[in-house]
Amino acid sequence: MKYSLVIPIYNEENTLPELYRRLWGVMDVMDGEAEVILVNDGSGDRSLQLIREFHQKDSRICYLSFARNFGHQTAVTAGLNFARGEVVIVLDGDLQDPPELIPDLIAKWREGYQVVYAQRTQRRQESWLKRSTAFVFYRLLRRLANVDIPSDTGDFCLMDRCVVDILNKMPERDRYIRGLRAWIGFEQTAIKFQRDPRFAGEVKYTFAKSFALAIDGLVSFSKVPLRLATYVGLFAACVSILMAVLVFYWRIFYPNSPLTGMAIIIMAVFFLGAVQLVSIGILGEYIGRIYEEVKGRPLYTLAEVVGFGEKRE
Ligand code: UDP
Ligand code: MG
């Protein structure tokens, strides 16, 4: 097997026929044996039926089906676990990542790069909120992360077998794949592309899911938030010393000023309370993740594994 295409699918019944058509066009011009791994992430619509039909029509299409919705990153992880190709390409199932770009990714791989990621130059027809929060987040992450995670790249990429093997061996549960991919290293390069609008259906990444992914990215790749608590604490200590000085000053020179009374105390109490709560929250983010890792549950449960040969099924 030369190429594996890993595609997570969650309630994409309206996109699947078009996805199939466009993949077909691309697979026909590929120069080696290829497989498509569709990972059904617990869809509640007709996606799984359609996927089954595709498999019947074309044996190059194999699929995994989760027993429930586990999320995009987990779906990609499962696909990578099962991929047999020498080269693995990950793309979204909503046609926002144009399959026609795959030959370009492969050309770069031929030049000797082990990771070729697609970098968005433009996001067409995505909401203002999504674009602006993504813009800020990627830049913040670049500043804070201890690895160089390129901006404006999603999971659309090509990975060589050696990178996929390492990724598969990583036991961590919080899988911020674009970060792990950067962490692994090797020769990496970008291809610029314009992100198409979604072909059909609604965005499956709700704001809450995107926010959770952003926190995962930050916490998995940066200890700066932990240190932030220390910095804010130090800052609060300085402020309280300053306030003490002010109180003394007012006591001596303006004995009747209301500022020397309750107001200043309440302010100090609120400020310190806020600092403590934020710090506890940050600790919680990290400890919660330690707890998740320690439990050591499997990442996903599979209801169906079809098309991978008898051994794996
Ligand atoms: N997806 C998934 N599980 C989820 C949410 C999304 O497998 O819980 C898939 C979805 O079917 C699509 C891809 O992940 O193929 C990207 O989702 P979406 O287009 O909603 O996200 P966006 O492109 O806005 O980041
Ligand atoms: Mg999308």
Q: For 75-119, write each residue's pLDDT tens digit.
A: 999 999 999 999 999 999 998 899 999 999 999 999 999 999 999
**What DSSP character marks residue 146?**
S
How many domains does the structure of the chain reveal? 2
Give the 3-state DSSP-derived string for 90-139, with helices as H, strands as E and coil as C: ECCCCCCCCHHHHHHHHHHHHCCCCEEEEEEEEECCCCHHHHHHHHHHHH
Q: Do 182 and 265 fall within a single domain?
A: no
Residue 313 lies in a domain: no
pTM of the model: 0.80
Residue 19 lies in a domain: yes
Residue 311 lies in a domain: no
Residue 50 lies in a domain: yes
Q: Counting atoms of ligand 1 from 1, which one is nearest the CA of 203?
A: 20
Measured in Å, how far apart are the chain's first and last C-alpha atoms?
18
Phi–psi pair at 79, nearest 5 degrees = -60, -40
Q: How far is the CA of 122 from the centre of ligand 1 (A)?
A: 18
Q: Do 119 and 265 fall within a single domain?
A: no
Count CB neighbours of 97 within 10 A.
Answer: 23
Residue 259's pLDDT band (cuts 50, 70, 90): low
**Residue that wins the pLDDT comparison between 247 and 167:** 167
Our answer on whether the CB atom of 71 is closer than 6 Å to any ligand 1 atom is yes
Q: Counting atoms of ligand 1 from 1, which one is nearest the CA of 70?
A: 8
DSSP per residue, 234-303: HHHHHHHHHHHHHHHHHHHH-TT-GGGTHHHHHHHHHHHHHHHHHHHHHHHHHHHHHHHHHH---S--EE
HSE-CB of 85 using CA atoms within 13 angstroms: 24
Our answer on whether the CB atom of 199 is closer than 6 Å to any ligand 1 atom is no
Our answer on whether the CB atom of 92 is closer than 6 Å to any ligand 1 atom is yes
Q: Do 71 and 202 fall within a single domain?
A: yes
Q: Do 163 and 262 fall within a single domain?
A: no
Q: How far is the CA of 293 from the centre of ligand 1 (A)?
A: 24
Q: Do 202 and 266 fall within a single domain?
A: no
Our answer on whether the CB atom of 195 is closer than 6 Å to any ligand 1 atom is no
Position 127: which residue type?
A: S
pLDDT of residue 56: 93
Q: Do 138 and 283 fall within a single domain?
A: no
The mean pLDDT of the chain is 87
Q: Do 213 and 279 fall within a single domain?
A: no
Element (H, E) at 157: strand 153-160
Residue 194 lies in a domain: yes
Q: Do 170 and 33 fall within a single domain?
A: yes
Q: Is the pLDDT confidence value at 261 over 80?
A: no
Q: Counting atoms of ligand 1 from 1, which one is nearest the CA of 202?
A: 20
Q: Do 8 and 142 fall within a single domain?
A: yes
Helices H / strands E in the chain, number of each: 10, 8
Question: Could you list the residue range(s) of the whole structural domain that residue 154 is in?
Answer: 3-222+299-306
CA distance 251 to 254: 6
pLDDT digits (tens, 9 = 90+) for 165-213: 999 999 888 888 988 999 999 999 999 988 888 888 888 888 888 888 8
Q: Do 162 and 266 fall within a single domain?
A: no
Which of 55-59, 87-91, 151-155 reaches the highest mean pLDDT?
87-91
Cβ proximity of 304 and 66 under 8 Å: no
HSE-CB of 104 using CA atoms within 13 angstroms: 15
Q: How far is the CA of 91 from the centre of ligand 2 (A)?
A: 10
Q: Do 63 and 39 fall within a single domain?
A: yes
Element (H, E) at 49: helix 47-57
Point out the least confidently predicted range of 56-65, 84-93, 226-235: 226-235
CA distance 69 to 72: 9
Q: How far is the CA of 131 from the centre of ligand 2 (A)?
A: 12
- 302-306 and 87-90 beta bridge pairing: unpaired
Q: How far is the CA of 283 from the centre of ligand 1 (A)?
A: 29
CA distance 214 to 196: 22
Q: How far is the CA of 90 from the centre of ligand 1 (A)?
A: 12
Position 266: which residue type?
A: I
Q: Is the pLDDT confidence value at 151 over 80?
A: yes
Residue 125 lies in a domain: yes
pLDDT of residue 65: 95
Residue whose CA is at the smallest distance from ligand 1 atom 22? 205
Q: Do 53 and 191 fall within a single domain?
A: yes
Q: Counting atoms of ligand 1 from 1, which one is nearest the CA of 10?
A: 11
pLDDT of residue 16: 93
Residue whose CA is at the smallest distance from ligand 1 atom 15? 93
